[in-house]
Amino acid sequence: MEEGYFAQFTDIHIGGPELAGRDNPIAKRMKPGEVLACIPKHRAAEHNLRAAIEEVGSLVPRPAFVMVTGDLVSLGSEGELRRYREMAESSEVPLLATPSNHDLWGDCGKGWDRVMGPRRRRLDYAGVRFLLMDEYEPLPEGPHLWRARLRPELSEWLRDGLGPQPLVLAFHAPILPLGDGRYADVWDESAGKLLEMLSEHEVLAMITGHWHRNLEYTLEAGGNPIRLIATGSLMGYQWTGIPPHYWFPTRPGYRLFCIGEGRLHTFWRELWTQVQANIVWVGPVHAGGPRPQVRPVRVFSQVRLKAKGYALGGEVVEMDWSLCLPAPDKFGRSGWKALRWRPMKRTFGALWSEWEADLDPLDVEPGSYILVVRARAGSGELAYDAVPVEVSQEPSPVPAEAGPEGVFELAGLRE
């Protein structure tokens, strides 16, 4: 493989009833409060897309292309898709899009076919075959109901695209096995057929969106491990469905990739930040995101911490970490006190840098802490990221395990 860079945008959600019109079949199902709540979110979506397009175009080295993995718009109308296309055409870096439910359910995909063209894409770059596919299939019960499925014509298209070179497969909804041939969320049993089809090929990654979350895990395909990467929303919101707001804000961003050293490296780039720090792994546990979404971790034995740092227009020159304990100030406001800052070792450098260190639970008392990483840019500017952890010295067959996903923001850190 050659060295190269590319990027991913996902779950942008341009538009809404104000662009799609109240005759849109999905808009007709929306409650008045939901329509009002959506207006500022969809305006933010346009703002974020413009910012991401501008930033990607300014990066050095510049990504060769951006994969857009579904939910470009909200209600699948031609008006929304035209607005997206108008913005995408301003990009100096090609935006290669494949659709999903929000792009197709307004008129069963007719608008996409007229405005956007092909639903699938195939290209070769840096010695890697890229396949962008549309797994969406509407259900007869209604335009808003759908499933992810490896349809016969999609299976044939994929087989035609598989070759001897390493592969990246991009689509919208992540595959998550539940056991007994069942899969989480929208995928039906055909996900198993897809994994079987890929079992004899070198798959660098499946790259997805849909959940508005950052996550990474490994799938088994006939004994061949396949890395699945889920990416947070460029829109910057997580759906709850609970009135009056229906959404809660998350940090908007996109994902960068580097093909190099025979590997695929990746970084979640948070918009609007000059310096950024991400805790990505605590042993086998992915720390989740985008913040404030977080996966708390229970640590039983020594684990490897993996973090990433970024400085816009510069570089992160140092990263360190500490466990922190509650330390309210004199007014009783919550805060945290770092116990001991320890250095991390740089393991990779590109547009971003990657860092590692070891956390040994025998070094501290059992209990609840906040794990904090700190990035220092060459300019001296600092950035932080944090994950709640519980340190346990109980026997366990695993070094660490994830707790239920929650929401956490670091505030009041005293160093």
pLDDT band at 414 (very low <50, low <70, confident <90, very high): confident
Quote the pTM value.
Answer: 0.96
- 354 and 238, same structural domain? no
Q: In the numeric block, which tokens belong to residue 353? A: 């840098």
Q: Is the pLDDT of residue 38 over 90?
A: no
pLDDT tens-digit profile of 247-268?
999 999 999 999 987 799 999 9
Under the banding of pLDDT at 50, 70 and 90, the label for residue 360 is: very high
Shared domain for 260 and 186, answered yes or no, is: yes
Query: Which pLDDT score is estimated for 114?
Result: 96
Do 371 and 323 form a contact (C-beta atoms < 8 A)? yes
Domain boundary among 223, 238, 270: 270
Q: Between these two residues, 212 and 331, which has the higher pLDDT value?
A: 212
Q: Do 21 and 27 contact (CB within 8 A), yes or no? A: yes
Instruction: Note whether 262 and 281 are same-domain residues.
Output: no
Check residue 272 and give left, alpha or beta (phi > 0: left; psi -120 to 50: alpha): left
Q: Are residues 31 and 118 in the same domain?
A: yes
Looking at the 3D structure of the chain, how many domains does it have?
2
Tens of pLDDT along 93-151? 999 999 999 999 877 789 999 999 999 999 999 999 999 999 999 998 877 889 999 99
My answer on whether 229 and 190 are in the same domain is yes
Domain stop point among 202, 236, 270: 270
CA distance 321 to 386: 10
The answer to whether residues 395 and 265 belong to one domain is no
Residue 85 · residue 46 · CB < 8 Å: no
Rounded to the nearest angstrom, the gap between the alpha carbon of residue 415 and the centroid of all alpha carbons in its chain is 30
- How many Å apart are CA 27 and CA 21, to the nearest integer? 7
pLDDT band (50, 70, 90) for residue 1: low
The three-class DSSP label of residue 362 is helix
Contact 199, 220 (CB under 8 A): no
Residue 376 clears pLDDT 90, i.e. is over it? yes
70: nearest Cα among 197, 174, 161:
174
pLDDT at position 271 over 70:
yes
Residue 79 has which token pair? 């008006």
Is 278 within 8 Å of 316 (Cβ atoms)? no
Q: Is 253 in the same domain as 288?
A: no
Asked which of 270, 292, 314 is the last residue of a domain, the reply is: 270
Cis peptide before 61 (omega within 30 of 0): yes
Instruction: Residue 87: give its domain's CATH number.
Output: 3.60.21.10
Q: How many CB atoms lie within 10 A of CB 408?
A: 15
Statement to judge: residues 293 and 199 lie in one domain? no
d(CA 248, CA 246): 7
Range of 128's domain? 4-270
Whether residue 284 is found in the same domain as residue 393: yes
Strands 177-179 and 182-183: antiparallel
Does position 34 have pLDDT exceeding 90, yes or no? no
Tell me, yes or no, whether 373 and 332 share the same domain: yes
Let me know: does 292 contact 406? Beta carbons within 8 Å. Answer: no
Query: In 3D, which of 130, 118, 112, 120 has the Cα closest to residue 63?
Result: 130
- Using alpha carbons, select from 281, 355, 279 the residue that is nearest to residue 317: 355
For 197-225, what is the mean pLDDT? Answer: 95
Closest C-alpha to 376, from 309, 323, 290:
309
Tell me what pLDDT residue 19 has: 83
Please say whether the beta carbons of 239 and 247 come within 8 A.
Answer: yes
Residues 322 and 242 in one domain: no
Check which CATH number belongs to the domain holding 319 and give it. 2.60.40.650
pLDDT computed for residue 108 by the predictor: 78
Residue of higher predicted confidence among 24 and 7 = 7
Residues in the chain: 415
User: Helix, strand, coil: what percent of the chain each, to 5?
Assistant: 20, 40, 40
Q: What's the rounded mean pLDDT across residues 301-329?
A: 96
| Average pLDDT of span 13-37 | 82
Query: Are residues 320 and 258 located together in one domain of the fold?
Result: no
